[in-house]
Structure 1
Amino acid sequence: MTAEQVEQLEDTEKFTFQTEISRLMSLIINSLYKTREIFLRELISNASDALDKIRFMALTDSSALAHNSKLSISIAADPESKTITITDTGIGMTREQLKQNLGTIAKSGTSEFLAKVEGSKDGDVNQIGQFGVGFYSVFLVADKVTVASKSNDDEDQYVWSSQAVDDFVIAKDPRGNTLGRGTQITLHLKEDAEEFLNENALRDLVTKYSEFINFPIYLWSSHEEEVAKEATEKEEDDEIVEESLEEEDEESTKKEEEEVEKVTVFDWERINTQKPIWMRNAKEVEEDEYVEFYRAIAKEPSATPISWTHVKGEGDTEYRSIMYIPPKVDPNFFQNLAEKAHNVRLFVKRVFITDEFELFPKWLSFLKGIVDADDLPLNVSRETLQQHRALRTISKHLVKKALDMFQQLAKDNEEKYGQFFKEYGSALKYGAIESNTHRKKIAGLLRFSSSYDPTSPGVSLDSYISRMKGSQSSIFYLSGMSVEEIEQSPFLERLLARGYEVLYLTEPIDEMLIQNMPGYNGKMFANVAKGDLKFGDEEELDEQLDEDYDELQAWLKTTLADEIDKVVLSKRLTTSPMAIVAADFGLTGHMERLMAAQGQSNKDRDMMLNFMKMQKKTLEINPKHPIIKSLAGRSIDEMDEDTKELVLVLYETTAIRSGYPLADINAFTKRVETIIRKGVGASLDEEVEVDVEAAPEKSEEEKKADEAYLEKSDDIIEDEDAYLHDEL
């Protein structure tokens, strides 16, 4: 039926599109014009979903397929009427579902898609199926659309039609139940979209986008056949003509050829003839096929996965699976860890069951793919699915296979592994924290920046251990906000001078990782900003040197009693005069900043943070530094107030370099200013003369202009409130 015929029906009801949908369709038409061929992909995808639903329903209700047991999708183009018709035998829609599904849409999906389109610079936003708005891509190529649908839940078949972007009509189909069950969408093409009436163009699009759909897709196509001509009697003259035998044979052959002609025959041709890719032998599947399959299941038409694994499980539990590493991590991956990821589709004997289950632990939930199990019952409920023994076994196997895939990628392609780790390194670290079973294997996959290679996170723990020095028993590391910040730290001085390698940990999750993974392959982690640093080849300090600094150490401890617990001669420093070191179980400056930067206040956490911040630190002094040597050369009587002020400034600058925030920044700046005044010979008591002119008050004209503007703003707000009220 045409859109005009639907509108002329007696029981037709007209509805107005939800405002968001009118805006949505306008944006789709304007933003996706260059890739408007995606309309067919979206309609086939929707048809496949409808077929999945009815097949799943049939698992528990045998009557669901009574009206039509054949599950398929068909596409037919009619050049004369300039229409394309897509028909499926899926679950269909009732009259109310036609109104709701094609006239309104969830705000969240619409808003997300609109934001994506409006924020796209090049307009290449064609993954609309992810947002549940794929149907509206029909308006890229059609100015009139008619949808006929029949559901098992409704006695009658209904038609939905729209000729514009602001309203639609629904009516009972006067043709009766022509579908049996399912949905038929007829697109009346725009003049500039008639290229899609071409049979070969449609075939190419189905092959390009929907080759791996798990249901037969048929195209109404033509081909030429040779058929015999109908026999025709021709009256001959009575005149006898003599002919040679050779001429008679030639004439006979010619007559036989003329009795066969070529005619154009139309029939349904199945386009997606390949069996499901996961059922094929991995050696028979080409790389391009894996990439196209990923694009189909992920609904990312231009994406190329980083890597994949094709698994066939045999034994107690038989299954087949293909798992992919997406090219980019979801920006909300860590924020959505509490939610179920819908990244893996579960099939049982090629029947789609659900994507609402947890196959992988949270830290691996970024993987996308399919699992087809033979040992799960077809009628398994979503409620009992998660506890099913076979699925738990499959999950364990696939976690191991995923880690093997990462390991193989690191071995075969260092550049690609670097890309993978850049996107998913934090997820692996989270896995090392969460998983006792796989922690060691995950640890071998981790990469860090280090003093050996500070430019990229390319250092593995195994390679670090291979470069360790003689007698070295610890894996040295230092945390900071960035590599640049860490490289300025005084804690590195002696280690780097002696040739020790230090890992640079720059991610917030790193501190938690080390707490949960204190060592690797018999080597313990050692934070070079905490505790008593051990190199493994220590020599006893010169007792005489220790005595020479006893008085200075005692004086510094008294002077800085509110801040530090003890003063020791440093084994870390070479060029800096001093450094502030946290206790073994205290907070480094970096950790203090991380905890203070956390958003919402938590009473227990705040108490713990304050308690740990109150723990006094150790001040390490460098006995080789000129400042420390000069201070050690003075007697206690020579330590006047000026010296004390200088030492306080030195301590506070050391705190900054050691990563600690200053408790009183104003006191610090005043002390620095005092030192500068003394250095330039300025008076310590002289105050700055402040001589400024007060700003003028508003004039009467300015006051009136402000009042007029406020009145105008109030009117605008009232109009917006009225608009929002109408929307609601």
Structure 2
Amino acid sequence: MTVEAKKETLGFQTEVKHLLHLMIHSLYSNKEIFLRELISNASDAADKLRFEALSNDGLYEGDSDLKIRIAFDNDANTITVSDNGIGMTREEVQEHIGTIAKSGTKQFFDALTGDQAKDSELIGQFGVGFYSAFIVADKVTLITRKAGSQEATLWESTGEGEYTLETVEKTSRGTDIILHLKESEKEFLNDYRLSSIVKKFSDHISLPIVMAKEIPAVTDEEGNETEPAKVEDETINSASALWTKSKDELDDEAYNEFYKHVGHDFQDPLAHVHSKVEGTNEYTMLLYVPARAPFDMWDRDAKHGVKLYVRKVFIMDDAEQLMPRYLRFIRGVIDTDSLPLNVSREILQQSKKISTIKAGAVKKVLGLLEGIATNDKEKYATFWAQFGNVIKEGPIEDHKNKERVAKLLRFASTHANTDTQDVSFEDYIGRMQEGQDKIYYVTADSFTAAKNSPHLEIFRKKGIEVLLLSDRVDEWLVSNLNDFDGKVLQSVAKGQLDLDKFDTEEDKKEQEETSKDFESVITQIKDVLKDKVSEVRISHRLTASPSCLVTEQDAMSLNMERIMKEAGQDMNMFGMGATKPVFEINPEHALVLRLKEEQDDTRFADLTRILFDQAVLSEGGQLDDPAEFVHNLNGLLQGLLK
């Protein structure tokens, strides 16, 4: 069938041009990875065809012998990597190669430093795939035909800003990538060099990778040719699924190279677990913890993670049923013998066997992380810096494993007073004071705001450690994690503090006398702030600040309310409305003592509002009327000048 030719020249997305330039220069010292990346993409294309063909056998077009072919041409100065996988339509070529439609692209470019060594790690972690061809080629030609389609597409570019798309004819489905090598890269026009690279990086690919091999003619003793010279395919990789091998057959290098294929990453993983479960529900899992967080980790539509295989046949790579959201950074494969090859997403959602596999996978991952946390604190610190915020979703999402996940959590605290999150609940409990039965914490929108919170003053005075929570997810975490190991989690900014056991009898007597002494002041403050507060009381948590805001024990925290509002949530929709805080005053502070002595009602009201607004600012809140605050403050300062 003849197809109508249609050719157009298009410009690369700006990010692609930037990435190509950076990649060619930053990854040049490791240039042979271009072959690994192209083979990895070809393998994925074959996996996708296998899956699609389960419900439409006609996509094989009479050829179900899937393989990857590598060829080189000394005269043309080219290397060709071909596959007979799923192929692409013209639109898919333009979408996948002309643009980088990845969440996190901006953050990626913002993170680049100009240091080639550091940037090469970032570039590799972002995943360059097809673009790695330009490390060794000054022109790349791609010819592809989608399985089941009659129309093929030719894509071509020198990688300098533009590419052409043309409708062509191609008899076989799949994709051919032709690399027109730079003059300086002729070393790759060698079968031994190419096969060595395949052995090094891609031996684990379960698909046969073949190269043409010349078989010389066979002659008899008299020199007569008995068999003519011929060319036949030679498989140059082991072509067996790596995860099916025993651990004894595999070393760290083999595990790491497989991770780079399945995780589309350039860096070695942080850790892995390889396990086989036997019985009525048999499955093998090879799961990895990456060394760095992927840039699209916060993209809820990201379609990668753990690949599901059934008897070594790829089924899908975005099966959320295999791993909970809080472990979405895990990469690897799960291969089961217990499901039919034609399993659908709907069946997966309802399958008890999948639920069992998922539970087993989560158990293995949590066990792996527990082992790292116990035996290699430095490595765990690396893990936490990359994935801590995601793990904090665990107690919210996974009630069955809430306690196990809680043991993995790490926080900053007043113990070290640094923003390093390295304090576990067990560490905290080990340092609790005699008689202390609660785990105290404070939440804020930044570490600085948390460590400087006025709510910490009494705790510092009494030497009681407080966890400093400043990640957004922390508010949801403490809303869903009420206790740990029998110890209740208590916000220092909520309710009445239960610190009586740490007070002397003299302290208690003094507090009672102070409360009586300030009864009229409290009544007057209530009159001034009647629309803004639910209660006014003497504070037993302040030692240096004049005032603070406290929420009732079961109310939404002021920080959480602020987060919800910033997210555009209408609090009235939830029947909550704005939380009216409790206003606490420090009876020993000079400003409060001045307030107690103030006889002028107007000045009393102005000073009260200043103290309230200061408390709002200390909580990281925004003032309803900043101009009024400035006016009242200026009036107070002017009074001091008289």
TM-score bracket, normalised by the shorter chain, equals 0.7 to 0.9
Contact 2:409 2:425 in 1 (8 A): yes
Tell whether 2:305 aligns with 1:343.
Answer: yes
Residue among 628, 632, 636 paired with 1:667: 628
Q: CA deviation at 1:523?
A: 1.0
Distance 1:127 1:452 in 2: 38
Distance 1:504 1:146 in 2: 54
2:42 matched to which residue of 1? 47
Distance change in 2, residues 1:552/1:28 (3 Å): closer
For residues 645-687 of structure 1, the C-alpha deviation after alignment (integer angstroms, 9 at most, x for no partner) is 4454344434433555433322222222223223334xxxxxx
Distance 2:64 2:271 in 1: 38
2:552 matched to which residue of 1? 583
Distance change in 2, residues 1:564/1:206 (3 Å): same
2:95 matched to which residue of 1? 105
Structure-to-structure mapping, 1:385-404, within 5 angstroms: 385-404=348-367
Contact 2:432 2:464 in 1 (8 A): yes
Find the residue that maps to 2:393 and give its secondary structure. helix
Contact 1:58 1:64 in 2 (8 A): yes
* TM-score normalized with structure 2 length: 0.83
Contact 1:20 1:110 in 2 (8 A): no
Distance change in 2, residues 1:507/1:397 (3 Å): same
Distance 1:47 1:443 in 2: 41
Distance 2:593 2:141 in 1: 89
2:211 matched to which residue of 1? 219
1:56 matched to which residue of 2? 51
Q: CA deviation at 1:446?
A: 0.8
Residue among 109, 130, 134 paired with 2:130: 134
For residues 622-664 of structure 1, the C-alpha deviation after alignment (integer angstroms, 9 at most, x for no partner) is 3x445556766x5x9x566545544543444344335554333
Residue among 434, 440, 459 paired with 2:397: 434
Residue among 506, 516, 522 paired with 2:470: 506
2:245 matched to which residue of 1? 280
For residues 180-237 of structure 1, the C-alpha deviation after alignment (integer angstroms, 9 at most, x for no partner) is x6655555545444222122221233234422222111223469999876469xxxxx
For residues 166-187 of structure 1, the C-alpha deviation after alignment (integer angstroms, 9 at most, x for no partner) is 65665557xxx6x6x6655555
Residue among 275, 278, 288 paired with 1:311: 275
1:653 matched to which residue of 2? 614
Give the stretch that moved more between structures: 482-491 or 222-231.
Answer: 222-231
For residues 227-275 of structure 1, the C-alpha deviation after alignment (integer angstroms, 9 at most, x for no partner) is 876469xxxxxxxxxxxxxxxxxxxxxxxxxxxxxx9997543221163
Distance 1:271 1:528 in 2: 65
Give the stretch that moved more between structures: 418-427 or 81-90.
Answer: 81-90
Structure-to-structure mapping, 1:685-696, within 5 angstroms: none
Find the residue that maps to 1:580 and give its secondary structure. strand
1:450 matched to which residue of 2? 413
Q: CA deviation at 1:452?
A: 0.9
Contact 1:652 1:668 in 2 (8 A): yes
Return 5+ residue gaps in structure 2 as ranges.
none
2:459 matched to which residue of 1? 495
The one-letter amino acid paired with 2:130 is G
Structure-to-structure mapping, 1:346-357, within 5 angstroms: 346-357=308-319
Q: CA deviation at 1:283?
A: 4.0
Contact 2:40 2:261 in 1 (8 A): no
1:15 matched to which residue of 2? 6
Q: CA deviation at 1:284?
A: 3.5
Give the stretch that moved more between structures: 447-456 or 162-171.
Answer: 162-171
1:712 matched to which residue of 2? none
Structure-to-structure mapping, 1:198-237, within 5 angstroms: 198-221=190-213, 230=222
Contact 1:567 1:621 in 2 (8 A): no
Q: CA deviation at 1:71?
A: 2.6
Tell whether 2:187 aligns with 1:195.
Answer: yes
Distance 1:488 1:145 in 2: 60
Identical residues among aligned pairs (%)? 29
Q: Which has the higher contact order (CA 8 A, sep 6+)?
A: 2
Count, aligned residues:
618
Contact 2:60 2:147 in 1 (8 A): no
Q: CA deviation at 1:317?
A: 0.9
Tell whether 2:549 aligns with 1:559.
Answer: no
Residue among 371, 375, 394 paired with 1:412: 375
The one-letter amino acid paired with 1:399 is V
Distance 1:353 1:625 in 2: 68
Contact 1:592 1:660 in 2 (8 A): no
2:640 matched to which residue of 1? 679
The one-letter amino acid paired with 1:526 is Q
1:483 matched to which residue of 2? 447
Contact 1:217 1:271 in 2 (8 A): yes
Q: CA deviation at 1:503?
A: 0.9
Residue among 253, 256, 274 paired with 1:291: 256
The one-letter amino acid paired with 2:522 is L
Contact 1:357 1:386 in 2 (8 A): no
Distance 1:139 1:652 in 2: 59
Q: CA deviation at 1:461?
A: 0.7
1:77 matched to which residue of 2? 72
Find the residue that maps to 1:533 and give its secondary structure. coil
Contact 1:326 1:367 in 2 (8 A): yes
Distance change in 2, residues 1:444/1:266 (3 Å): same
The one-letter amino acid paired with 1:664 is D
Find the residue that maps to 2:95 and give its secondary structure. coil
Return 5+ residue gaps in structure 1 as ranges.
1-9, 233-262, 682-728
> Computing the radius of gyration over CA atoms, which structure comes out larger, 1 or 2?
1
Find the residue that maps to 1:584 and give its secondary structure. coil
Distance 1:549 1:385 in 2: 64
Distance change in 2, residues 1:440/1:108 (3 Å): farther
Distance 2:144 2:613 in 1: 77
Q: CA deviation at 1:422?
A: 2.0
Contact 1:553 1:567 in 2 (8 A): no
Distance change in 2, residues 1:325/1:646 (3 Å): same
Find the residue that maps to 1:201 and give its secondary structure. helix
1:600 matched to which residue of 2? 568
The one-letter amino acid paired with 2:67 is S
Give the stretch that moved more between structures: 79-88 or 496-505.
Answer: 79-88
1:571 matched to which residue of 2? 540
